[in-house]
Amino acid sequence: MSDVKDGIAPHGGTLINRLASAEQKQTFLDKADSLPRVTLDQRAASDLVMIAIGGFSPLTGFMAEADYLPVVSDMRLASGLPWSVPVTLSVTEAVAEPLKIGELVRLDDETGRFIGVLELSEKYTYDKQKEAINVYRTDEDKHPGVKVVYDQGAINLAGDVWLLERDPHPLFPDYQIDPAQSRQQFRDRNWKTIVGFQTRNPIHRAHEYIQKCALETVDGLFLHPLVGATKSDDIPADVRMRCYEIMMEHYFPQDRVILAINPSAMRYAGPREAIFHALIRKNYGCTHFIVGRDHAGVGDYYGTYDAQAIFDEFEPGELGIVPMKFEHAFYCTRTSTMATTKTSPSSPEERIHLSGTKVRALLREGKQPPPEFSRPEVAAELIKAMQEK
């Protein structure tokens, strides 16, 4: 770990910047109509952004086979640096066939807008089932991450990328804080230790409890909800962000908490994604990272604390960010506080657990979850959103 006065080093030592300069952008625009085109889906477009802003440092582009294979097999890049999730650009054979190695490829978003450039260095096939089993621990296409792998093209395109322009987020421009900016904000506040928190769900009391437990031991909390592509039945990002704004206004010390958006997409890769999320927050400047129960999980594919155990597969200090592991929090009726089995003397019947499924059912019926589960202002916001939906 680097000297804390200067902040934690990005993964690999250098914060990557693949934003085109004004001159590069104009050169690319001048060539736009003559370049072969590849259309990026929502996840690939967000991956392009994350590479460009340094969120995926040390990646400078979509993975070559030399990186892809050891990442899938051993959670390491070709250099030996830990990396747990493939970041690839997959296309059909028909799209890949006319593309020539060494040429520039125009990258469009799903609306047809020119957003980036790929310096094509390689085209390679890959084993979808092996990627599914190793990364997601299942080959069932009911798993949303596996389904993405099975549905995508059979050829991976590799090479460095350039993002033409960093557009303000259409919904949350005020919370678009990229790694260079978050690192500067941490320095401005003289924070030497910062804990990052990842979520794709609305905040509830258990989240608040573990966030504040972590905040007791570090200088600052980086609340970093994911706003990229998620499952269709997840609570929409705008609703989740309103809930965080409520919490910031009423329940958090604002001088010790920064709320920002994570523009990347969910993989639902459970343990492997916990490592991935930690490395992303390291690039944003966090020194610590909260890992709760079933981090990045879906269905029953992962054990409750598998995402914590996977950190022990790396040598101490190798990841360069400290995992803060928390057990499942609940409301303890005996002590009238939030707690975990580590701190509560209660019996199981004295513990209030509410699953996300139960809460969504209550919200759909217009019923407010109990205050032991959710702050009332947050519950009211969720009910309003659910009824509007």
In the beta sheet, which residues pair with residue 288? 195, 322
CB atoms within 10 A of CB 111: 7
What are the Cα distances from residue 146, in Å, to 67, 126, 133, 230? 20, 14, 9, 14
User: Looking at this protein, which amino acid is placed at residue 122?
Assistant: E
Catalytic machinery residues: 200-201
Residue 167 token pair: 């557009």
Burial of 153 (0-12, 13-18, 19+ CB in 10 A): middle
3-state secondary structure the chain: CCCHHHCCCCCCCCCCCCECCHHHHHHHHHHHHHCCEEECCHHHHHHHHHHHHCCCCCCCEECCHHHHHHHHHHCECCCCCECCCCCCEEECHHHHCCCCCCCEEEEECCCCCEEEEEEEEEEEECCHHHHHHHHHCCCCCCCHHHHHHHHCCCEEEEEEEEECCCCCCCCCHHHCCCHHHHHHHHHHCCCCCEEEEEECCCCCHHHHHHHHHHHCCCCEEEEEEECCCCCCCCCCHHHHHHHHHHHHHHCCCHHHEEECCECCCCCCCCHHHHHHHHHHHHHHCCCEEEECCCCCCCCCCCCCCHHHHHHHHCCCCCCCCEEEECCCCEEECCCCEEECCCCCCCCHHHEECCCHHHHHHHHHCCCCCCCCCCCHHHHHHHHHHHHHC
What are the Cα distances from residue 258, in Å, to 182, 205, 227? 9, 19, 16
**Can you tell me which residue has the tokens 């390679």?**
124
| Angle ∠(265,267,270) on CA atoms, nearest 5 | 135
